[in-house]
Amino acid sequence: MNFRTRATAVTSLVVLLATSACAGNVGSADTDTGQSSVEPVEVVITSLPPYVTKGDDGQLEGIDGGLFDAAAEELGFEYNVTVTDWNGMLAAVQSGRADVAVSDVAWTPAREETGLFTDPAYYLPNLIGQTPGLDIHTVEDLVGHSVGAINGQSYVDGLDGVDGVDLRLYPDSAALLADLSANRIDAAIMDPLVMVYQKQVRPDLNYEVVPLAPPTMDQVSEHPKWAVFGTQMIGWYAKPGSEAFVDQLNGVISEYWKQGKNASRIKDAGVDQVAPFLNPGTDWLNVYEEQRQGLDRPGDWVAPYSEEFDDEMSR
């Protein structure tokens, strides 16, 4: 019998990660027939290894990048890639200058109002970077500390909802991690695997990565903005009006879940155990469904997850 477990494995994730290195027009892929036409899909990214980078051949690489590149091949469309910063990436999609953003973009209600999201290709647990010796492990532990985040990322709104946090905004991960390493801020919240990856390739950076325990459902009920500190839905963010294109991408993403292609991509990034990325547990799956049903998904929409990790997540 298929079932979901309630456990969330964020508390053990840091051990696993620390050991690893870690369009024209959307009509360019004809949204009725799926056939490729003259104009390529315009993809915008912010370079975030191991999630996504632009390869020397102009194709996307990494977890998100490799999955999208495979989707383009399967659906039969060409694409161009523009690399910019985080805010520029989101703005390009929201204004229609780009067709889709492929850069570890988490679903939020605010972003849903200004663009379209695919179903999640995977989920992303939270870690936090902190100066060595600080004992930050929960959202409440952030109170009284200076905490950095990248302007435009979903964590900003969540941190703004934590009274007593001295929030500092940065244009990109390099600037944020430089200040964290130099002890100009106490902690940083950003894309978890980017923090781990940068620590691996830059051992001179002086910070440690620890799990940030997800808030309880009671805490989320009392502080709705804190939901961003739970495991996040990661999908592809498309421009308004491209519903048919998103439907096509959803079809491919559904096959990735069945075939385990998302798991393979995550493992290729150096993560040995991928359970937290593919099965966040019953509580959070229920949250995702409550957030999206009747908003940008039908009332019977079910958040995808991998049943393969039911037993693993229960331990």
Q: Does residue 277 form part of some domain?
A: yes
Q: Does residue 312 form part of some domain?
A: no
Q: Does residue 279 form part of some domain?
A: yes
**Please, which pLDDT band fits residue 310 given cuts at 50, 70 and 90?**
low
In this structure, what CATH number is given to the domain that contains residue 112? Answer: 3.40.190.10
Q: Does residue 171 form part of some domain?
A: yes
Given 229, 261, 290, which residue is the final one in a domain? 229
Given 229, 249, 265, which residue is the final one in a domain? 229
Q: Does residue 221 form part of some domain?
A: yes
Domain identity same for 45 and 59: yes
Q: Does residue 1 form part of some domain?
A: no
Strands 79-83 and 41-45: parallel
Domain identity same for 14 and 120: yes
Mean pLDDT (the chain) is 86
- Cβ-in-10-Å burial (0-12, 13-18, 19+) of 306 comes to buried
The beta strands (E) that lie in 96-255 are given as 100-106, 116-117, 122-124, 127-130, 146-150, 166-170, 187-188, 208-211, 232-238
Residue 206: which domain range? 127-229
Domain identity same for 236 and 225: no
Is this structure's pTM higher than 0.95? no
Given 229, 259, 284, which residue is the final one in a domain? 229
Is residue 177 helix, strand or coil? helix
Domain identity same for 87 and 37: yes
- The total domain count for the chain is 2
- Look at residue 229 in the predicted model and tell me its pLDDT: 92
Question: What are the pLDDT digits (tens) for 92-134?
Answer: 999 999 999 999 999 998 899 999 999 999 999 888 999 999 9
Question: What are the pLDDT digits (tens) for 219-228?
Answer: 989 998 998 8
Q: Does residue 4 form part of some domain?
A: no
Domain identity same for 145 and 214: yes
